[in-house]
Structures are given as structure tokens and as C-alpha cells.
Structure 1
Amino acid sequence: FRPGVMGEGMVFADPAEVRSALDAGMVDLQARIKVRIRGEMKETTVGRVILYEIIPEQIPFDLINKIMNKKELSNLIDYCYRSCGDKTTVLLADRLKDMGFKYATMSGASIAIHNMVVPANKKDIVARADKDVLKIQKQYMDGLITDGERYNKVIDIWSQATEKIAAEMLTGISMEELDEADGVKRKVESFNPIFMMADSGARGSAVQIRQLAGMRGLMAKPSGEIIETPITANFREGLTVLQYFISTHGARKGLADTALKTANSGYLTRRLVDVAQDCIINEDDCATLDGLDVFALMEGGEIIETAGERVLGRVALEDIKDPFTGEVLVEANQEIDELLADKIDRLGIEKVKIRSVLACKSRHGVCARCYGRDLSHGHLVNIGEAVGIIAAQAIGEPGTQLTMRTFHIGGTAKFEEHSTLQSRHDGTVRFVNLNTVKSKIDASSSSKVGDLVVMNRHGELHVLDEQQRSRGKYTVLYGAHLKVVDGSIVRKGELLAEWDPFSIPILAEVDGAVKFGDIVEGRTMQEQLDEVTGLSRKVIVEFRGADLRPRVSLKDKKGKTAKVPGSNAVARHLLPVGSNLVVSEGDVVGAGSILAKIPRETTKTKDITGGLPRVAELFEARKPKDFAVI
């Protein structure tokens, strides 16, 4: 709604009265009014009442009494299909289209240069990022980090700066200040056309607006690597010649990719169909007792998809109970519909056991209960449905479109590594099979002396509420520095752990003296000289002959290989190809110190086109080129 327009605060007896007031020009489309609908007084706007005229009567007014963006419109159509059947839905979609065209024309939405508002603190953010990059450069010159680490950290700094500017800019254009009659300034939702287009999902995305008024950000080379000097300008300010040249890289890559990958993707679809064509629904229930545990989908402490959203349309394997009362919400073998999925989310259930085709016991094909809902008409799948071919097309079809993803964004690279873990709830910390040691001192990381370092790979950290129920589970990476201890009380958003996202460490479990084994310069290890800094580092390289196993062991005071506390294992680590040694022979190290670092892959751009060859590789079951020693 627009504050302060004609007719604001008027009260109407019914929708017909609103229509006649609008036709008489007494009230504005976006005026906030009160109107009686089906015997209830609703606070709404004129436009929403007009929209309600074309909605079937089974649909409640509350479903459209909100900002109707793309997602809400699809919810409306979905609700209509479920409650009124397909004929009504077709008519509704048609009426929505006509009304949409009419009012979009009347709105006269356009784009002008002054709609693109560059955030005021953009210069500060860029300057701060420049400073951070210089710091990283200095660390590299002093030999504290390798060239690969420097590159990754620089990319990370610029990615975060771009995100920050984008966030500032979106907040800037999503709200506008109005001077009220009494001289008070009030912030209201803005009617900026660029913001409305992106926010409603009609055209453009936050990423594209960011390039208009934020900063273009990092660009990708044709090879997929990210160029580490970002384009700090945007299209509103205009690019310099060099920046324009760099940005053509990205645009050209998109076009070349599209042309090359169409054939690739078509071939992938064909192979998938060939493999999956005989996978058909053959029976209703195979009576298996196995299934999968489904959790909420997390990325860096943020919930991307809740457990309820993920199990919607699947069949429960066992009874799902209310964690507070023990009441059964969903019985075993019952399909989880929208209402039940909503209940699961409301009660904060973190783990749900569901039936899955991976555990189906049918002799031929799969059974309907393991498969779940047929998404094309919203109920349990019919017997005889060729689900294999549907799955093959679902994987193959995006292949052609997602090759164009780079091209839609205009070649800007999006990339961000997570290196911290924050609590999502208030509560008490409980360690679950976490082995930790107190770190001595480590110059290469920001951790303090006395931080606990995680020494195993499958440990978890739980946050419990007052009733000792788990509110949040976090898997903690090997080598992470914990900022809390077992039993400490944390608040929501508090830092629990941090780690280096760009390398996997190999840690010492005990105190001892370093002894190398099979590390022969020129054969298994090379000293690589960095031409820029003039410093050398020891890297394990590929070697011929299977009798060499490069390793680092820790010796105790008697000169024997030290034992890992709590087990009979010896403190000896095999080094994979590509590890950078951090210690030298004879060094005395403490438990929790880093012996070597394995650099993670240099980050390339994130889009599924990187994934297409990868998916094809999985289906071909090729041998990977970097295999691990287990």
C-alpha cells in the first residue's frame, strides 16, 4: 500500500462498494482501507479487493491479502487445484493473466537511471577490502601462506565485499523515506520499479540489480578460474576500459559454454534414459523396514530447507511423534502432506525417518510407498508409472539450461566459503564423540592458546534446551578450533567453532619429535621455490614405484614412535600427493599442532555446468584421478 493517497482509511460495506468508489475515482488502487468480506472486517488495499473478484469462492481472502509475488501466486494456483479441481484452476489462471496484463499496463512501470541507487558506504567497503587484500599479500610475502591460500583468501574477501554492498543496496531501494504531515520521517516499502520487478519475481534477480547499482564483482576466465581483481564499478557508474575488457571475458564464456554443452547434455540424457528405462512402479508396498533419516538442509549455520519441506510427499517409515507430548503426528506408512509437513516444522522436529527407493525391496522396479508422491498431480504415485524415465529427464533436462546460468548472470562469479559455525539456538553445549586436545600455539591461524582442537572426523556438537532435548546438531570438521567447552551455555548466533576453509590440516595427536619416512627430496618431495617471495616450501609430489610411502611420525623421549592416547595406534601419518609440509625433521611439536596442510581445490565458479561432467563421471563409474589411501 502507498501511505497518504486518496481514500486512505475509508470503510466499505462490501467489495462491490469498493469497485464503484474506484470507478468513480474516489479512492486510489493502493489505498489502505477496511472492507467487510463474508461478514468479517478485513484491513486490506483496494487492489487486493479487485483481485478477489476473480478468485473462486472456496479460496479464503487471507490467501491473497498479502504481497502477491511469484511464489504466492503459485501457492494460490496450487491451493485452487487442490480445493477446486482442474477446470476452475484453468479459468483462474486465465483470469489472472488478463488482469495482470491490464494492471501492468496501467501501472506504467519503467526504468530510469535514478531508480538505481548506489549505496552511500560503497567506497568504504571497497577500501576496507583493499586493505584486507594488502594484509594477505604481506602474509604471503613473509612466507606465512602459500600462493594458493593467498589466492583463495583474496577471492573470499572480494566475494564478501560484493555481498555486503549488494545487501546495503537492496535495503536502500526496498525502503523509502516519506515526510509525514507532522514533519516526522517514516520508512515505508518502496515502489521503486527495479525493486518491484525483482522482488515480485517478474524479471531480473538480486544478482542482476547488484550489477546495476552495487558492484559487478568477480569475473570468471574462460577456463572457469576466477580473476582475482574484481570489477568494483557497476553499470550505473560505468566501467573503465580495463574493467570492460575483463567483463567481456565472462559474457563470452557464457556464449561459448552454451554452444558446447548442448550436445554434451543431450548425450547424458540419452545414457541416463538407457539405464533407467526399466525402473517402473510395480506394487503398492514392498514392506521394507529400511529407510533414510532426513534432516533440515544446512549451509553455514543457515537453514536452507527445513525437514518438513524435504519430507513433503514422502511416506513415513515409522511413527513420527511430537517431541513434547509423545502424541503420534504421522503413522508409519502414511503419506506426509502439506499440513503434516507444516506441523513437523512448527514442532522443530530435526530428524524424520522416511521410506526411500534406495531401500526398496521390490524384486522388479520400485514400490509406490517407497517412491512417494507423484508431483504432477499431488497424490501417491500410480502403479505402472515409468519413474525411471522421469528421473532421467529430471537430471538431464537442466543440463542444457544450467549451462546458460553463467550467461544469465553475465559471467559474474559467485563464491563464498564458510569457515565458522554459529549456534542457531540458545542452550547448553554437549560434545558427542568429539576427541579434542588443547592447542599450544599456532602462528598460522587466529586461534588463541588453549582453544580446543577437534581431532576426529565424525564428532558432533549438540545444543540442548532446559529439558536436555537436542535443539541443534552440528558436525564439526577435523582440525576446527572450538570456541566453547562441553557444558558451556551459548546464546543464539554465538560462535561455536572456526576452521581454515582453504586447507585440510594433518594434526599431531601427541607431543613428540618429528621424524620423516620415505620423504626423499627429488623423488617423493620437492622444495618448490616461490619466485615472488623467494621462500621455499616442501611439497609431496607424484612418484613412480609403489615401495615408497611418504609419512610423518612422532617419536617420544625414548626415540620410539609415540602411541595415540586411548588406543594402540601409533602417531604416524601418510601424506597424500600435494601436501605441504609445515614442520621439519627433528622439530618438537605439541598435540594439536599442524604437521602438514592439504590444499583444497582452488575455487572455481559455482554452477552446475561444473557439475555436468561430474554427474556424467558418476554414471560412468570412472576411476578418480586423486584417490585416497584409507
Structure 2
Amino acid sequence: MVDVNNFESIQIGLASPDKIRSWSRGEVKKPETINYRTLKPEKDGLFCERIFGPTKDYECSCGKYKRVHYKGIVCDRCGVEVTKSSVRRERMGHLELAAPVTHIWYFKGIPSRMGLILDMSPRSLEEIIYFASYVVTDAGDTPLEEKQLLTEREYRQYRHKYGTDFQADIGAEGVRTLLKNLDIQAEIDELKELLQTATGQKRSRAIRRLDILDAFNDSNNKPEWMILDVIPIIPPELRPMVQLEGGRFATSDLNDLYRRVINRNNRLKRLLDLNAPHIIVQNEKRMLQEAVDALVDNGRRGRAVTGPGNRPLKSLSHMLKGKQGRFRQNLLGKRVDYSGRSVIVVGPKLKMYQCGLPKEMALELFKPFVMRELVEREIANNIKNAKRKVERMDESVWNVLEDVIREHPVLLNRAPTLHRLGIQAFEPVLVEGKAIQLHPLACEAYNADFDGDQMAVHVPLSDEAQAEARILMLGAQNILNPKDGKPVVTPSQDMVLGNYYLTMEDDGKLGEGSRFSSVSEAIQAYQTGYVHLHTRVAVQTADLPHKPFTDEQRKQYLVTTVGKLIFNEIMPDEFPYLNEPSQVNLEEKTPDKYFLDYGTDIPKVISEMPLVKPFGKKDLGNIIAQVFKDFQVTETSKMLDRMKNLGYKYSTISGITVGIADISALEEKPVILEKAHAKVDKINATHRRGLITEDERYAKVIEVWNQAKDDIQEALKTSLDRKNNIFMMSDSGARGNISNFTQLAGMRGLMAAPSGEIMELPITSNFREGLSVLEMFISTHGARKGMTDTALKTADSGYLTRRLVDVAQDVIIREEDCGTKQGLTARAIKVGNEVIEPLIDRIIGRYARVTVRHPETDEVIVRENEIITEDKGRQIVDAGIEEVTIRSVFSCNTQHGVCKHCYGRNLATGREVEVGEAVGTIAAQSIGEPGTQLTMRTFHTGGVAGDDITQGLPRVQEIFEARHPKGQATITEVSGEVADITEKAEERTKVVTIKGEVDTRSYEIPINARMKVEVGDRIERGDPLNEGSIDPKELLAVSDAEKLKNYLLQEVQYAYRSQGVEIGDKHVEVMVRQMLRKVRVQDPGDTDILPGTMIDLHEFKEQNKKALMSGGQPATARLVLLGITKASLETDSFLSAASFQETTRVLTDAAIRGKTDNLIGLKENVIIGKNIPAGTGMGIYSNIEPKSVGVVSENVYSINDQSEAIDAIEDIEED
């Protein structure tokens, strides 16, 4: 066997007949499989033990030699080698064909490879191969031409006329003769000459032919190997036959297909031996050809061969293709042992790094560890005894299990795994029952809830796997979301509500204005009922020594509530005392307005102070982010656990609940509705008099009702008591929002019809009053549409993620700095006047490409190639700077990846990215995972000025697939000034004239399009004239790549951010860069590239470098924008492309070219079973020897305090 990890690359090519014979262990001569009585394989049949190896370990067929003692002996009676039965998975056989046949992939694929090589049409080839026409292989001195087709009748006439002066042949033999006679080099020279003069169709066909001929010339493949003389037979264990209950057999379809080929081949041999009539032999040859076609790719030509129940049989091609094929089912995803699954329930008492594992499940998962430990502790005498104890669940087992699982993390996974946080590591805690307990804060990352969700558990076995799980995957480590760098473990629901209730303030509560000398005294006063949780009291600041107050503040009273004192106790020391949900309070200090001097009339001052808003969900998220920034992971996860406990405790104490009494009737509602009805009547009257069109009437009616609903919503907001339970739930961000409340207490409003357009009859009732029958029915459309939308969206979003992962899976951080001199000019992304993404969000965590100076003082804020931190980012924005040139993935020069400087900070850790990080996969997951939150609909703006604008998920797909967008905008091809805009009423268009620097251009635009330019505006090439989406390929043609990249980035950000989803720019940059990797060569100069071929940008630069070094002319090319599907299939790795889509086409092409896969990406390495070249699998991390560096005393560090830990270790060494 090959040593699995001992090769750098893998090559594919055409197999010559001799090669196929050299693989084989013997010829299969009979179609039989196994003997029906003895159930042993038939000799020389498809399962023959002599060819493929013994069916039982170390036992020959006749039973003469048994046991491993005889290993390697070939039995003299039955001829079977005594060896392991697993050789039946690797040994191949072969079948010698009585007549050659063509390989259907090379003849039928698009384009037909055989057709291109021979310069014949696929139809002509089909006639020859399937015995309909003869082909002239050598014309001799006759007037016939080579490759001329002759019908049976013409062939007989010419034979009669010219005798043996010419050679003609039929079937695969004829094609083989033509292929053998082909002089590839001469053809190539001829085609190169033709290219000098040819144009149009002729030229493009010549280029395609030249491409294929070059491929055969450069690889060691011979064209005649596309014709098969001998067929390989795959090992029997890969096409098994198993006995079912009741004595019947289930067999792989391949056995049926092989059997048909062998039967027909044997019959043909017999007919040839008998000198059967010519026509019978030809028919048999055609049937053999069809049988081989069905074996290789059933259904590719003609009707598929079917098995019982008219089911098409699965051929060799089907074994590779699709989700159930070899690549995706068995190589990219495998079933693993040491895993289990169960329903999840909430584990509110767990720590951030723990999960509850059912005892029985844990025992089964950790069985080998427990057994070893039982033997080592001498509780069991041997492994067998230990196994028995475990299976019987002996009393002695449980203590051992407790010790075994201590500090042995397990992985928890919830399907669908949309991003890397869908698999995290936790330390197991044994629990009774059969359900896995999950920490409530881990739910958001998994998108899990406890309504019956299931999760899978996996056990990392080796020490390395355990170390990786603990260091990289522990639940307590994954605080930030890789897509935007914001905390993913924010409290939700009850936890939010409890903390909101805890930090509320109220007027005139029991004991308002009381003074306390210490925190404990204030809490005691609350516990004894002297003050309320929400009472505003004054506490001496001196009793809070750990908080960063100013010297002035330390001599004063702090006005706060008992609830806030309790809330602040969970915060780390040195973190500012939180008295209000403001950024200043979070980052710097408690504002001075909450401090009172000694001797002040405290109750009076407090009663005049305005109430402060409590801390809602967003504020808690900001607090977590700030704590993470200041104190790193360990402290944050401890604080999160404390926040969770506090939330649960006080949401229970608050007793907040929902009853019908919480929904009060709105007095203004009848008045608002009356006014709306009056307006609608007026609009309808205007329409009846013919003053407005139907479309305008509809749009106005819709507008009136929307306005009425908004008015009711506003009235509700003002009338709502801040202590209303439902208000508190929605205001805190725990559950629900104002529009839910509007539907409960106001009106439901307008509904959409099944067609997607809005019905003009609104639902004026609300849920408290109850709906009429008609209203009930109208609202069901929306509900039904919602359900179907969600189902479709999930599939669409998953497929988008799959394509994104595929195109970017080989993008890995490969080096420190690529040394590029280019960058990206970052400004705030705006649509109209609305800021979609502010400048600060775009530059934080990126390296500056050029030094940034203060525009007034000229002092340096950030140096070139220095990372822009939050503080520096704020300084830049405060200085009024509107654009910064940053290092960007767009302009990175690293091949097969990105460098650290161009990527910047890793959003998941908040620190600089490490070499080896698989940033392509992270980018794909970050863009794909929120896909399900985007809308599916293309909105109908309805009425007058509107064409449908695509939004949400369809828009994201449109951008990444580089399709012609719906509602396309016209762009200008010249830079200049808008000279004139005139309307042509009869043609219903507007004509925009642009006076450029060199020439003047006019563009016709539909009359109802919304214009983006006016007369006198100055515009640049590629700017849109009207509203709509720009076609990216058009933009690339008229403008430069820089403008296209910025446009694509802006559009993706708009699609996501308009739906409230934030994604880091760098993820989109990684994707867009992958779409712009190829160039199309226009003039090859003195390089070896063919004109019109698509080639990788790096390879193009290399070829040009070679040409220039040898004093030749470089090639010229244009950048090509590929959609992600196309880009995935154009990758250098044939394994990655074949496992993505169009498997047969990719493999056909790769085999002809003799392609080599250098195993650079992740998928290729997973497929062949090597470690992936990312993360700890990178070369730089392997072969690290552990060494002792002294003992660290007292302090225990988390992995994120590495630098401190290293300093501490150095101190020890010095001691």
C-alpha cells in the first residue's frame, strides 16, 4: 500500500490498455457471481477468489490452508492466496474485449473530445461508432477522401469498383485507426498557421482544437487510448453482494452492468469463432458498445438500462456524481465512531465551558478509556472482564467514568452547521436522564432552542485532538462571531428581562434618597424591605475601591439604585461603575452628574433628577464587547455566567407576565380610522372622475392605510405605560417589538395577497378585539407564504454557502506580508444620503497602506503598515478625515491565499490573524450563514415609478454569480458632462446625452426610470444614469477593476445591512477576489498561451516574466469576472472541481490534459485523507517538540493570556 501521507501531488490521465492489464490480478471470463448452493464465489466470475483474494481472513477457498501462519502462500488446489480478506477492496480484475469500444465520456461529452481531435462532428462519429456508416481511413489512389462517411450501400459499390485500393472501417475500430493515423504535431503546426488568418467561427473552432491537441501533446496520453480494448473491473467489495433475510440477495447495480458486458463479449467471441455472418457480428459489436456505454455512464446516450421496477441502474459515473456519489458522500463526509446524539434541554446551572452528558451515553462514548482505567486500577483483571463490567454498568464503573471524563472535552454539533460556531467543545458533566444539557448562552451560536432540537456528541480521541478542542474550540473561548467581531454569546429572553428589571429606576419608591455608607448596607436594606430594588439611593463612593472613579468622585456620594449595585457586582474589578447605558460610561468612567457632595439635600436633588433608561439587550452586548476588549476571554466568560444567573434570578423575582389586561384599548383609534376612510373615499371619487389612473389610485390608497397604521403605532407608543409588562419585554429586547404590540392593541394593517401584491382592504381589527371571518381568511395568505418562503430560503441559502465555500476553500493566510504597494481607498458606504456602513467600521482592524496625518495639525495618527485600532479609528473620524487608504485583500499579491497585513485583524479573536487561518472558509460561512435571515421576495414597489428591485437573498446570489441584474441601470462609457436630457413621449423613452472629453454619447432610458443625473452634472465612466443595479460585467468593460471591486463590495453590504445583518468587509473582499482571479488572453505575444484562453492571473504574470526575460513580447489580456460557480469549476485543483459539480466533465478534461493536483486547498486533502494544510495542519506547526520550561506557580492563565504566561515563564527561568 502507498504511505498515505507520503506524496505531494496526485495526477490523473488516460489509462492505456497495458496499464489496465498491469493493475489487474486476472481476467474475469464468466458473468457468474456466486454459487447459489454453496454461496461461494464462482471461479473466473465477478467475485472470483483467485483474482480478487479470499473472502475469509487467511483462509483459501477450498479450506486447505487456514490461519495467519500460512500468510502469502498460494493454494495449490484452488489457486487462492492466503491473505487478509480486505484485499478484496483493492485488487482489480480486467476483461479482454473481443472488439474495441469507445469510451462514452470522450465521445459524448460537451464538447466532444474525439470530435475535436478528428475534426469531425459528433453526429458523424456516432454513425461510425454505432455501425450506421463506414469511414474512409485510407483513400489510396481513389477519388474518396479520408474521414469521408459511406453508407453500407455506397461502401459495397466502392468496394466493387475499386477493390482493395482504399481502406474503410466501421465501429470503434474505424475511429481507432483514424486516431492512430493522426500526426498531432503536424496538426498543431497547421492550426497555428490557420490562426494567423482565420476569423469568426473558424478561428474559435481552431482555438478549441488546438487546445485539445496541445493537451495530448503535452501530457503523455495517446488519442487512441480513448478507445478501450480491455475493461478494468473494480474490486468486488466496492460492488458488494449481500444476503438478505429470506435467502434473497441484494447486489450493486454495477454487477448487473458488468454481467451484461461479459455476456455480450462472450457471445461475440463465440460468433467470431463460428465465422458468423457479417451483419450478426456487427450487431453484436454494437450491443457490446452499448453495454460498455451503460457501464461507464448509463443514460448518457439513448434510454437508460433499467433494473427491476424500471429503475435506471447506477453506473460508474453515477457512483461519483452528486450528493450520494463517492466524492460527497464518502470522501468529503464520513461517519465517525465515538459519537452519539440526543435531544437537548437547557442547563442553566452549567458554566460556559460545560455541557451535561447523560451517564449512559458518556459510558458508551468513553468505553475504551474506562476499560483501560479499570484494568490499570486493578478493578478488572483483564480487558474482557472490564468490558463485561462496562456493559453491565457495574457500580465500580461510575467513579472511574467521572475521573476519565474530567478535563476531556467533547464536541457538540447541531445540524445545520452553517458556520464554525455550529461545532464547539465543552467539558462534559455527568447528568441523570437521557438528554444532553446545553448552556443557555451557547444557544445563539448554534441557533438552538429547546423545542425538541437534537445535537450530536463527538469524542476527540488523541491528545492533539483534545488539545485543539480545548484551546481552539472551547465554548468559553468562542465569544465573538467571526462574521462581524461582535459577541455571539449575548444573553437573550429571560436573562435580558431580568437584567433590565434589575437596572430599572422609579420615582417616589420606598426609601428614595436614603444614604448608605456601604454597598452591603444598601443591599441589606433592600433585603429587609427598607428600600425597593428600583429606589434611587446615595452610596458612599469610598466603599467601591476597585472601581475607576476620579479622585474628586471618591469624595462624593454616588446616586444609583440597589439593583444597579447588584448588577455592578458581577463586573470585573477595574471596570467602570455602570450607571447608564452610554458609551462614555462603558469606556471611560461614570458620568459626573451622578455624584453629589456631602451635605447636599440628597432626597430633594434625587427627586428632581430625570430617570435613566435601564440596560436592554443591545446594551448588554456592548458591555460584553467592552469587557472582552479590556479583560480577554477568561474574565468575559466568568462575567457572562454571572450575568446569566442574575438575569434568571431577577426575571423570576420581577414576576413579569402577559395577560389580557396588559393590552389596553386605544381611544384615538376610531378617529384615525374614520379620517383614513374619508381620505380613501375622496381618492376613489377622484379616480371615478378620471383625474388619476388606476395605478395611482391604488398607490395612494395603500399609502393612506400605511399612514393610518403608523399613526396608531405612534399613539400607542405615547399612551403606553413604561411599566407595562409587554412594553418592558419589547423595550428590553427580550421578546417582541412595537409592531407586535400594534397588532395586539392597534390594528393589523394591510396584508399581502398570494400573488405578492398588497390588498387594499386593511384589517382594522386587532387581536384583542378579535378578527372577523373575512379578516381571518385574508391574514392566512401571509402565514402560508411565510412558511413556504422559509422552507425555500433554507435550501437556497445552504446552496449559496456551498458554492461560496467551494470557491474560497483554498484561501489561507500564507505569509506575514506580501509587500504590495497597492491598497483600497475606504470611505463610508452610502446609498443616496443614507450611510450603510460608516468609515470607522471599515478601517478598524485593518493596516494603513499610507501614513494618515491630521489634516490641521499634520501630526501622524497612523503610520504606514500599522494596524488601525479602535482608538486610532476614532481619532481619524474625529479629525474629519473621510477616506483612508488601507491594505486590502483585493490587492494582496500572495498566491493561493492572503497575507497577514492585507487581511488585518481576525474578527473571531479580536487580535491579528495567524498564519494558517482558513480565512476563505470563514468568509464563505460568514456570508452564507445569515442568508436565511434575508428575505426571499423581490419587492413589488407597485404603482407608478417602479421597476422591481431585487433585494435580500436573490440579490446576493445575483451579485456573486455575476448575472445580468433585474432592473438594470444604464451606465455611461465616457467621462464628461451631462449635456441634455430630452423626453420622447411617443417612444416612451428619455435620451441622455453626455459630452465626453473625446466624443459625445447618447443613451436611451425608459421614460418612467428614476434619474440619478441632471443636466450639468459631471460624471465618470461607469457611473449609472438611472436608479437600478449595474451589470458588473458591463462595468468591468467600461471602467477599471478597482471600481468594480468597490461596487460589488458596496452592493453586498447594502443587501445585508438593509436587513440589519452586519458582515465584515474583508469577508466580501475575499469572495470578490476569487471571482477576479482569471484573465482572458487577447494577444499571446511570445508566450506559449493560446489566444482567447482563460488563465490564472499569477500564471499569466509568470509567463510574461519569462517572455520578457528572454527578450520577447509579453502577452496582453483582459480581466474576467466569473460567477462563483464558474470560478469553482475553473480552479487549478481537479479534485476540488470534480467534487463540486459536473464531475464527469471535470474529470474528462483533467484526464486528457494529464492534470496534476498539487493539493493546495482544503477539499483536495480531505478527499485523499491527508491533514488539511491550514491551522495546525500547516507545515510550520508540525514536528514541534514539547519541552519543559519550568513550573508556573500560583497564577493559572487562560490560553488568551499567552504573552503574560510567556513572560511569567521567562521570569521563572531567570529565577
Alignment of 1:70 with 2:617, yes or no, is yes
Q: Which residue of 2 aligns with 1:183?
A: none
> Structure 1 residue 236: deviation in Å?
2.7
5 Å-filtered alignment, 1:108-147, equals 108-117=655-664, 119-130=666-677, 133=680, 137=684, 147=694
Alignment of 1:380 with 2:926, yes or no, is no
> Structure 1 residue 340: deviation in Å?
2.8
Q: Quick one: distance in 2 between partners of 1:94 and 1:380? A: 27
> Structure 1 residue 106: deviation in Å?
0.5
Residue 227 of structure 1 aligns to a residue in which SS? Answer: coil
Report if the CA contact (8 A) 1:580-1:598 is conserved.
no
Q: Quick one: distance in 2 between partners of 1:515 and 1:258? A: 44
Q: Quick one: distance in 2 between partners of 1:358 and 1:400? A: 27
> Structure 1 residue 267: deviation in Å?
2.1
Matched to 1:57, the amino acid is D
> Structure 1 residue 19: deviation in Å?
1.4
Q: Which residue of 2 aligns with 1:200?
A: 732
Report if the CA contact (8 A) 1:515-1:553 is conserved.
no
Change (3 A) 1:309 1:268: closer
Change (3 A) 1:23 1:575: closer
Which has a greater percent of helix?
2
Q: Quick one: distance in 2 between partners of 1:278 and 1:568? A: 44
Residue 281 of structure 1 aligns to a residue in which SS? Answer: strand
Q: Which residue of 2 aligns with 1:2?
A: 506
Alignment of 1:44 with 2:560, yes or no, is yes
Change (3 A) 1:241 1:72: same
Q: Quick one: distance in 1 between partners of 2:639 and 2:675? A: 52
Residue 629 of structure 2 aligns to a residue in which SS? Answer: helix
Q: Which residue of 2 aligns with 1:57?
A: 573
Residues matched between the structures, number? 453
Report if the CA contact (8 A) 2:807-2:1124 is conserved.
no
List per-residue Cα deviations over 1:17-36 (Å, max 9, x = no partner): 21121122111100111112
Residue 884 of structure 2 aligns to a residue in which SS? Answer: strand
| Structure 2 gap ranges (5+) | 1-504, 546-553, 579-584, 591-612, 946-969, 973-977, 1010-1014, 1017-1024, 1030-1053, 1060-1071, 1076-1121, 1128-1215
Q: Choose from 758, 761, 769 the match for 1:226.
A: 758
Change (3 A) 1:356 1:151: farther
> Structure 1 residue 58: deviation in Å?
2.4
Q: Choose from 789, 798, 812 the match for 1:257.
A: 789
Change (3 A) 1:317 1:140: farther
Q: Quick one: distance in 2 between partners of 1:607 and 1:236? A: 36
List per-residue Cα deviations over 1:284-337 (Å, max 9, x = no partner): 233334333434455674556532234332333333343443433333333222
Q: Choose from 267, 288, 292 the match for 2:799.
A: 267
> Structure 1 residue 377: deviation in Å?
0.8
Higher relative contact order (CA 8 A, sep 6+): 1
5 Å-filtered alignment, 1:87-236, equals 87-117=634-664, 119-130=666-677, 133=680, 137=684, 147-148=694-695, 150-173=697-720, 176=721, 190-236=722-768
List per-residue Cα deviations over 1:109-140 (Å, max 9, x = no partner): 11233433455444454455555555655666
Q: Which residue of 1 aligns with 2:963?
A: none
Q: Which residue of 2 aligns with 1:368?
A: 900
Q: Which residue of 1 aligns with 2:517?
A: 13
Which has a greater percent of strand?
1
5 Å-filtered alignment, 1:400-415, equals 400-402=932-934
Larger C-alpha radius of gyration, 1 or 2? 2
Report if the CA contact (8 A) 1:118-1:169 is conserved.
no
Report if the CA contact (8 A) 1:159-1:414 is conserved.
no
Q: Which moved more, 1:238-247 or 1:140-149?
A: 140-149
List per-residue Cα deviations over 1:356-382 (Å, max 9, x = no partner): 222323233122222222111101211
Q: Which residue of 2 aligns with 1:508?
A: 982
Q: Which residue of 2 aligns with 1:180?
A: none
Q: Quick one: distance in 1 between partners of 2:567 and 2:1026? A: 59
Report if the CA contact (8 A) 2:994-2:1002 is conserved.
no
Report if the CA contact (8 A) 2:807-2:1125 is conserved.
no
Q: Choose from 492, 516, 528 the match for 1:24.
A: 528
Q: Quick one: distance in 2 between partners of 1:348 and 1:215? A: 46
5 Å-filtered alignment, 1:479-490, equals none
Q: Quick one: distance in 2 between partners of 1:162 and 1:327? A: 54
Residue 531 of structure 2 aligns to a residue in which SS? Answer: coil
Q: Choose from 775, 779, 785 the match for 1:247.
A: 779
Matched to 2:617, the amino acid is K
Change (3 A) 1:387 1:128: farther
> Structure 1 residue 4: deviation in Å?
0.5
Q: Quick one: distance in 2 between partners of 1:402 and 1:248? A: 22
> Structure 1 residue 568: deviation in Å?
9.7
Alignment of 1:574 with 2:1078, yes or no, is no
Residue 231 of structure 1 aligns to a residue in which SS? Answer: coil
List per-residue Cα deviations over 1:385-425 (Å, max 9, x = no partner): 1111111112222233446x99xxxxxx99899x9xxxxxx
Q: Quick one: distance in 2 between partners of 1:515 and 1:166? A: 43
Q: Quick one: distance in 1 between partners of 2:689 and 2:658? A: 50
Change (3 A) 1:382 1:194: same
List per-residue Cα deviations over 1:179-236 (Å, max 9, x = no partner): xxxxxxxxxxx22221211111111123322322333233233443333333333323
- Taking only aligned residues, the RMSD between alpha carbons, in angstroms, comes to 4.4
Change (3 A) 1:293 1:607: closer
Report if the CA contact (8 A) 2:706-2:749 is conserved.
yes
List per-residue Cα deviations over 1:516-566 (Å, max 9, x = no partner): 6xx6xxxxxxxxxxxxxxxxxxxx6xxxxxxxxxx7779xxxxxxxx9899
Change (3 A) 1:564 1:256: closer
Q: Quick one: distance in 1 between partners of 2:707 and 2:896? A: 50
Change (3 A) 1:166 1:293: farther
Q: Quick one: distance in 2 between partners of 1:376 and 1:553? A: 51
Q: Quick one: distance in 2 between partners of 1:134 and 1:276? A: 58
5 Å-filtered alignment, 1:343-362, equals 343-362=875-894
Matched to 2:652, the amino acid is T
Report if the CA contact (8 A) 1:306-1:345 is conserved.
no
Q: Quick one: distance in 1 between partners of 2:818 and 2:885? A: 17
Scaled by the length of structure 1, what TM-score is found?
Answer: 0.61
- Residue identity over aligned pairs, in percent, reads 44
| Structure 1 gap ranges (5+) | 177-189, 407-412, 420-455, 459-477, 480-505, 520-539, 541-550, 555-562, 582-590, 623-630
Q: Quick one: distance in 1 between partners of 2:749 and 2:941? A: 10
Change (3 A) 1:260 1:94: same
Q: Choose from 626, 638, 643 the match for 1:79.
A: 626
5 Å-filtered alignment, 1:302-321, equals 303=835, 305-321=837-853
Report if the CA contact (8 A) 2:991-2:1005 is conserved.
no
Q: Choose from 537, 543, 556 the match for 1:33.
A: 537
Report if the CA contact (8 A) 2:510-2:531 is conserved.
yes
Q: Quick one: distance in 2 between partners of 1:24 and 1:338? A: 45
Q: Quick one: distance in 1 between partners of 2:774 and 2:715? A: 26
Residue 51 of structure 1 aligns to a residue in which SS? Answer: helix
